[in-house]
Structure 1
Amino acid sequence: MSSTDTIDYEAEYNNRARVPEHAQLMAGWARDAAAYREQKAPRRLAYGPGPRHIIDLFEADGDGALVVFIHGGYWQALDGSSFSHCARGLNAHGVTVAVPTYDLCPQVTIDTIIGQMRGAARELAKLGRPLVVSGHSAGGHLAACLLATDWRAFDPSVSRDLVRAAYAISGLFELEPLVGTFVNKAVGMDAASARAASPLFWAAPAGKSLDAVVGGNESAEYLRQSRVIADRWGAAGVATRYDEVAGANHFTAIAPLADPGSAMVLRLKQLADR
């Protein structure tokens, strides 16, 4: 990690300040998501007792892996209902997409959220298909965490190969830079807990696949986060790819998910089919 003397982490990670039109873009997510639910109503699954312990399952007729999309919001905002349209592109190719919601900081910790997403994956395992886990921003962090989870240790009834690949968009894999920023007011990490929740420092899931994708116009820190995990996990036996969405900022980087012909959707379909 670079010195705080030379990097303004507050500016690097404040995506809303970097993208003045973020409010309109986020309103567009909610509008597009609601329109897609009108077109294709999801099946709702519960993975726990709380009102946010739900999964919207957008079913399709293919028989490959199921793709999960985990939303972002720095572990403290949003829910899956703003991202239903992210299933559109894959559904058009016959790929089923699951969009889970989780509890938020400061009501819970990041460790709790990681556990909740493991619980959601365990619930999806009952459908009898492997998972490709995608996610955006904090959801990219959670996708990497699920890829690197020892599933037999978590639950001996779950296959160790439950999650075969992760596709992290604008992900966060090293959390220590966030400790001194606005993000941590709700998240409440210290240096030790931030490092413990950083998949960059976990045992790399050798033999599995990670795509680390980031908007080409995102901050240097977001670009670094994706490059570093691709390099480090790649050197440890993970099939990694680093890619940039040309011209995209933090909020537009996920837009290709709604387009059946986008390179992002075709790559996720490839991961689901293999």
Structure 2
Amino acid sequence: MTSRAEIDDAYANAAHIPGGMEYPARWAAAASAFRAAHPPEEIAYGPGARQRLDLFRPEGAPKGAVVFVHGGFWKAFDKSAWSHLAAGALARGWAVAMPSYTLAPEARISAMTDEIETGIGAVAERVAGPLRLTGHSAGGHLVARMACADRAPGWRERVARIVPISPLSDLRPLMGASMNDDLRLDREEAEAESPVLQEQVDLPMTVWVGAAERPAFLDQARWLAEARGCDMVEDPGRHHFDVIEALAEPESPLTRAVLA
């Protein structure tokens, strides 16, 4: 039987990435500088304190909207740490929305799924054209949930592509992790919130993962790609923390995949 310590290590990232603990400060600084140069519109999509999203608009009429959902194992970070990742799609004429959502232990993952669905709806009301959804880690899980048949958002027919990045797709292994003290996953919710266990809706999807990620994350990405019957890209040399950096580049393979 796998111990809690072994599960924790399997999903640990910072300890296995050189300079891993320095990344959050780097993200925050880059995001702050980007917001100063490109002030977003902040939109409340619900009454909760964290039910807010930043909407960055390009010059001229947008081609549509990209929604990026942040990670942090459903219990860390908010929209303000990732603003710089809007740069790639914004430069190519797309609006970019970045929602915060209520975190654990205040909210359960099923409630976060509901919040992201509502937040994307708020974006759809404000930006015409196609929607493209992407998210990292826990955020990859949340955008993958939007392609499951148990969800029925009115905006889903506008979704042109979903790109979960390093997603968590089967939550059952996390029931034995220390983080579950905050997540409070039981068997019923872990199964209901696992995209790999749900009936799939026919939407274009590409699963993206760093080739140098922890084996557990490579497994999680592969499980989702297999459940979807879609492509999986292993980004050479990228680990869990730098795999998302390419979103800031207009012509990177990752940005092109989101906007394909």
Q: Which amino acid is the alignment partner of residue 138 of structure 1?
A: A
Q: Which residue of 2 aligns with 1:233?
A: 228
- The yes-or-no answer on 1:213 pairing with 2:208 is yes
Q: Which residue of 2 aligns with 1:80?
A: 79
SS in 2 for 1:225: helix
Q: Which residue of 2 aligns with 1:267?
A: 257
Describe how 1:99-114 pairs up with structure 2 within 5 A: 99-114=98-113
- The yes-or-no answer on 1:201 pairing with 2:197 is yes
Displacement of 1:162 after TM fit? 3.5
Verify the 8 A CA contact 2:140 2:165 in the aligned structure 1. yes
Please give the root-mean-square deviation of Cα atoms over the aligned residues, in Å. 1.8
C-alpha distance in 1 between matches for 2:2 and 2:160:
36
Q: Which residue of 2 aligns with 1:237?
A: none
SS in 2 for 1:250: coil
Q: What are the Cα deviations for residues 219-267 of structure 1, in whole angstroms up to 9, with x where unaligned?
A: 1111111112112211xxxxx2200121111111101011122111122
Q: Which residue of 1 aligns with 2:234?
A: 244
Q: Which amino acid is the alignment partner of residue 228 of structure 1?
A: W
Displacement of 1:102 after TM fit? 0.4
Structure 1: runs of 5+ lacking an equivalent: 235-239
C-alpha distance in 2 between matches for 1:50 and 1:168:
25
Describe how 1:22-41 pairs up with structure 2 within 5 A: 22-41=20-39
SS in 2 for 1:200: helix
Displacement of 1:191 after TM fit? 2.2
SS in 2 for 1:126: helix
Q: What are the Cα deviations for residues 120-161 of structure 1, in whole angstroms up to 9, with x where unaligned?
A: 01111212333111000000000101122556x45xxx2441
C-alpha distance in 1 between matches for 2:19 and 2:131:
34
Instruction: Select 2:173's aligned residue among 172, 177, 185.
Output: 177
C-alpha distance in 2 between matches for 1:37 and 1:210:
29
C-alpha distance in 2 between matches for 1:159 and 1:220:
35
SS in 2 for 1:231: helix
**TM-score under structure 2 length normalisation:** 0.93
Q: Which amino acid is the alignment partner of residue 210 of structure 2?
A: G
Instruction: Select 1:54's aligned residue among 52, 55, 69.
Output: 52
SS in 2 for 1:74: coil
Structure 2: runs of 5+ lacking an equivalent: none
Identity of aligned residues (%): 35
SS in 1 for 2:216: helix
From the superposition, tell whether residues 49 and 149 of structure 1 become closer, same or farther in structure 2 (CA, over 3 Å).
Answer: farther
Q: Which residue of 2 aligns with 1:120?
A: 119
Displacement of 1:105 after TM fit? 0.2
Describe how 1:118-197 pairs up with structure 2 within 5 A: 118-127=117-126, 128-148=128-148, 153-154=152-153, 158-197=154-193
Q: Which amino acid is the alignment partner of residue 177 of structure 1?
A: P
SS in 2 for 1:171: coil
Verify the 8 A CA contact 1:75 1:104 in the aligned structure 2. yes
SS in 1 for 2:146: helix
| Count, aligned residues | 257
SS in 2 for 1:8: helix
From the superposition, tell whether residues 149 and 139 of structure 1 become closer, same or farther in structure 2 (CA, over 3 Å).
Answer: farther
From the superposition, tell whether residues 159 and 31 of structure 1 become closer, same or farther in structure 2 (CA, over 3 Å).
Answer: closer
Displacement of 1:65 after TM fit? 2.9
From the superposition, tell whether residues 160 and 263 of structure 1 become closer, same or farther in structure 2 (CA, over 3 Å).
Answer: closer
Verify the 8 A CA contact 2:133 2:161 in the aligned structure 1. yes
Verify the 8 A CA contact 1:53 1:101 in the aligned structure 2. yes
Q: Which residue of 1 aligns with 2:219?
A: 224
